[in-house]
Structure 1
């Protein structure tokens, strides 16, 4: 990001030329941000990265997101116009392999400052609790492996790192460092805001640790198997109905397997999410006499979300898990 400076009439010709170059670059950046407002133009691929940019950048940044509220991120399609605007951003934040359309657009954009959140914290391949999943179909489309360890090829790493506050804090540090590099004039503010956010995420981790310490069961069933990192962090067992793709249909064998798991592990609730259909969850719940509730993978915030931002929705997730798992 460049800042406009007034060049005195008596300045040397070389200095005038340098100032003109700076003004041209600033005008180019302003085109992507809706005007030469002096703010860093940041484009985030989806909500968790948008949230970090807004919390860390505050008044120094203007943040746009490729995934609008209510759009399921895995299914995002990007227009040529969006790809063009992407190339005008000062900083692009994305998570490689989560959204194939974004991966392609970023590669074509030519943006200098690109931050791949998948490089900011170690990714893992997650299984579930080890129950028999024979007959379950894998879902390796869009570069993903199945959260149960199956795929139409090698199992891929789980991208849902933001659902673990500890790993999300690591991503936040990387985003903060990227903003400092892109806009060194406000580095101190970015560093301060990053430290504050990391402290809040650390406190949230403690809330989850304490809140899920003593429960009647450690197993939960969810339509979208996005909670592998959360389950690992707090000693829980995730049983996903449909793998990482929340719209995919589970096999009859998988549904039968989940009925057995629910009975054996004293599961009381089948979780669904706000951005995908609850049809499968309600079908399984009806067949097993279980309740349904929301466990939000926080890929977007809408009017149906149980909270207005990341922290509010995560605390709603904690309350819903406590209720479902039988907190003692």
Structure 2
């Protein structure tokens, strides 16, 4: 993915059913049901929620991720065609933490007129605490960026938070298609058991790694890091446009800064540019990839949330044990 690298929870499951009512905010309070053989039409902003819908709804849903593959989530907005498609949707699941800020108020207002039956789910409801974007704490970020006080939208990369999202999505599907309630409930429970197993795998693996600091220029992994006892650092100077190639004092200062951190491998959301790899190698570091699971997946090479998270764990285990 071609993205910016210089721009930009610990939750108790006891919240459970007490929060379900607040997790769902619709444009209409009416409950719409689907006729036999029909499927619920669901749209989501990000890929993780799409997969959660697939795992819970299975044959009872058609679901589409709005954010295209290989797209900067902070610069993207839905097209007119996207907006038109939402007019016939049953459910829209939004990330809810700044991702939709630039265009959401207008979209919501239009749907209140053009699709009064649309049920809108804020997937972030019930997720606490919500963290600030980690890069805003870095010294090389402008005061203007720091003052934006943006929260971190990547809560879904913590499997415990994912379980809270599953409860919200299950409730939404049951509200719109109550005749399939038993199916949704069973599928959700099965999926949450798999999320529990994933959580345990992360706990067991990351508790034993040599290096306890996750370093990545892409600020997507804070919730995951904090859940599993890792510290998190976002060096935005890893962006190839910021590397001080021809400024030895700045290069020395960066090297000294990196030396303060407990890592041998920096994690990128795509393969690091050759110049960045060269820069890292000069200082004795290397790079690996972990996937933030944002944009729409290629149907021909679809990967589930569980598959991506397991692949990420293997990369983390490799990188955090590197000598």
The bucket for the TM-score relative to the shorter chain is 0.7 to 0.9
**Secondary structure of 1:42 counterpart:** strand
Counterpart for residue 101 of structure 2: 100
Contact (CA 8 Å) 2:272, 2:287: kept in 1 or not? no
Tell me if 1:186 matches 2:209: no
Would the aligned equivalents of 1:223 and 1:280 in 2 still touch at CA under 8 Å?
Answer: no
Q: Which residue of 2 aligns with 1:84?
A: 84
TM-score (norm 1): 0.74
Kindly report which structure 2 residues correspond to 1:13-32, keeping only aligned pairs within 5 A, or say none.
none
What is the TM-score when the length of structure 2 is the normalising length? 0.75
**Match for residue 67 of structure 1?**
67
Match of 1:309 in 2: 304
1:270 aligns with 2:271: no
Q: 1:231 pairs with 205, 225, 235, which one?
A: 225
Runs (5+) with no aligned partner, structure 1: 1-24, 31-35, 141-150
Figure out how many residues of one structure are paired with residues of the other and give that number.
281
CA distance in 2, matches of 1:92, 1:127: 25
Higher relative contact order (CA 8 A, sep 6+): 2
Q: How far, CA to CA, are the matches of 2:250 and 2:53 in structure 1?
A: 39
Secondary structure in 2 matching 1:203: helix
2:198 aligned residue (190, 204, 226)? 204
Residue 258 of structure 1: how far off its partner (Å):
5.5
The answer to whether 1:320 aligns with 2:315 is yes
The match for 2:131 is 125
Per-residue CA distance 1:17-53 (angstroms, 9 max, x = gap): xxxxxxxx99xx99xxxxx951111111120111111
Distance 2:183 2:318 in 1: 40
Give the match's secondary structure for 1:231: helix
Matched, 1:134 2:139: yes
Match of 2:54?
Answer: 54
* CA gap 1:193/1:82 in 2 versus in 1, 3 angstroms: same
The structural deviation recorded for 1:177 is: 0.7
CA contact (8 A) 1:269 1:290 kept: yes
Distance 1:281-1:239 versus aligned 2 partners, 3 A rule: farther
Deviation at 1:72, TM superposition (A): 3.2
| TM-aligned CA distance change 1:113 to 1:231, over 3 Å | same
Aligned residue runs from structure 1 range 145-156, under 5 A: 151-153=146-148, 155-156=149-150
Secondary structure of the corresponding residue to residue 119 of structure 1: coil
Distance change (3 Å), C-alpha of 1:117 and 1:123: farther
Q: Secondary structure at the match of 1:174?
A: helix
Please name the residue that 1:11 is paired with. none
RMSD of equivalent CA atoms: 3.5
Structure 2 residue ranges without an equivalent (≥5): 1-31
Following TM superposition, by how much is the alpha carbon of 1:249 offset from its aligned partner in structure 2, in angstroms?
A: 6.2
**Deviation of the 1:323 alpha carbon:** 1.3
Distance of 2:76 and 2:266 partners within structure 1 = 26
Change (3 A) 1:105 1:127: closer
Residue from 113, 122, 135 that aligns with 1:116: 122
Distance of aligned partners of 1:248 and 1:291 in 2 relative to their CA distance in 1, 3 Å threshold: closer
Pair 1:254–1:105, CA change in 2 (3 A):
farther
Cα displacement (A) at 1:256: 6.6
Secondary structure, counterpart of 1:85 in structure 2: helix
CA contact (8 A) 2:67 2:73 kept: yes
